[in-house]
Amino acid sequence: MRKQSIVLLSFLTMVVASCDRCKEEPDDFKPTPYNLEIPEGLPDMSIPSTNPLTIEGIALGRKLFYDPILSGNNTQSCSNCHIQSSGFAEPFQHSTGIDGIQGNRNAMPLINLGYQPNFFWDGGATDLESQALGPVTNPIEMHESWQNAVSELRNHADYPTLFKQAFGIDQITSQYVVKAIAQFERTMISGNSKYDRYAQGQESLTDQELLGLQIFTDPMKGDCNHCHVLGSTFSDFEYRNTGLDSIPVDEGRFIITWNNSDRGKFKTPSLRNIEVTAPYMHDGRFMNLLECVEHYNTGFHYAPNLDANLYTATKGRMTLAEMESVVAFMKTMTDHAFLSNPKFSAP
């Protein structure tokens, strides 16, 4: 009888203890929602419901962005080719991966990514989370398998706790690595340039910059804002063949869609912080902004898929002074506060 009572008592204790656990466990995970501040002039950003922004998630993403643990030999992080002072691009024509192999495209700036419908120069990545999967495994970039990367994170002193705090998970997976990085990237918002302050009536432009603005929007001159939509994101995020070559070496968007009409097309990049993201174009062929403007003035080739706006544009329609004024105007899009914002620097 006594033995049975002890059994009963211990059994009841077990039941009560297990009940407490099943009640409390779901409440353990309480990440702090992050209030994303959108500067005046930029649209609201839609955040995927599958990856809401949290203080813990963003901090984790920032740590991962700067941590070489995600590369094959732990020598390179995202930040090796995406440098804050260069608008999170890189001042080299092509990036070099951990094995010393160079790619064939120029590293893209990471600015206002939350507004973009897809990623890479050819739009091959369909969401920001998926985008981060590629460079980690690409043999010419970080050359790491996700299996290894995740295993290193699971055996790390800090990461298991940080992932638990950010996502409530006990086991790190690649899915949550890219979710965290995407959260950090969505906070990298730039909207405090001289142009923005001018648009808000807080600062004036010089005469040369004002002339540049006029040429930028004049359909018979620069006609730049046709694609680099004035203000806001300075891009329509469409794909165009801008006549860089008569026969494209890199087939661009075609590699993704396999539609002939997409041969040699690349995504319109934003012009924000363009002053610091040299060299330019998908292959980094132009060293300065004047070379870019000159390309659209006289340099473009009549490629089969040349964009209609360029096809109908007159070559040599801008004078040197007008082109220089466009460059001066483009430099008003530099957001110095963004380029040195400690929230985006190495933790």
Partner 1 sequence: MLGVIALSAVMLGCRDKETVEPTPLNPKVNLIFTHKVGNQEITQGQFYTRTSGESFSFDMLKYYLSEAALVNDAGDTLYFTGHHLMDAFNANRKKASGSVKIDDAQMSSFNQLIFGIGVSPAYNTSGDQAGDLDPGFGMIWTWSTGYIFMKHEGQFVDSTGATQPLLYHLGTPRAYQRYSVPIQLQLKKDKTYNVNIDFDFAKVYNNPNLITFTDNNVIQSSGSQDIPWINAVTQNLRNAFAVTSIQIK
Residue 138 or 217: the one with the smaller Cβ distance to partner 1 is 138
Q: Is 51 in the site for partner 1 (CB under 8 A)?
A: yes
Q: What 3 state SS string does the chain have?
A: CHHHHHHHHHHHHHHHHHHHHHHHHHHCCCCCECCCCCCCCCCCCCCCCCCCCEHHHHHHHHHHHCCHHHCCCCCCCHHHCCEHHHCCECCCCCCECCCCCECCCCCCCCCCHHHCCCECCCCCECCHHHHCHHHHHCCCCCCCCHHHHHHHHHCCCCHHHHHHHHHCCCCCCHHHHHHHHHHHHHCCCCCCCHHHHHHCCCCCCCHHHHHHHHHHHCCCCCCHHHCCCCCCCCCCCCEEECCCCCCCCCCECHHHHCCHHHCCEEECCCCCCHHHCCCECCCCCECCHHHHHHHHHHHCCCCCCECHHHHCCCCCCCCHHHHHHHHHHHHHHCCHHHHCCHHHCCC
Q: Is 46 in the site for partner 1 (CB under 8 A)?
A: no
Q: Is 174 in the site for partner 1 (CB under 8 A)?
A: yes
Nearest-approach distance from CB 332 to partner 1, in angstroms: 35
Task: Identify the residue among 36, 229, 255, 290 touching partner 1 (CB under 8 A).
Answer: 255
Q: Is 258 in the site for partner 1 (CB under 8 A)?
A: yes
Q: Which of residues 98-137 bind partner 1 (CB under 8 A)?
A: 120, 122, 124-127, 129-131, 133-135, 137
Q: Is 183 in the site for partner 1 (CB under 8 A)?
A: no
Window contacting partner 1 (CB under 8 A); options: 73-81, 175-183, 200-208, 302-310? 175-183
Q: Which of residues 277-336 bind partner 1 (CB under 8 A)?
A: none
Q: Which of residues 1-20 bind partner 1 (CB under 8 A)?
A: 1, 4, 7-8, 11-12, 15-16, 18-19
Interface with partner 1 by CB under 8 A: which residues?
1, 4, 7-8, 11-12, 15-16, 18-19, 22, 50-51, 120, 122, 124-127, 129-131, 133-135, 137-139, 145-147, 150, 173-175, 178-179, 182, 251, 254-256, 258
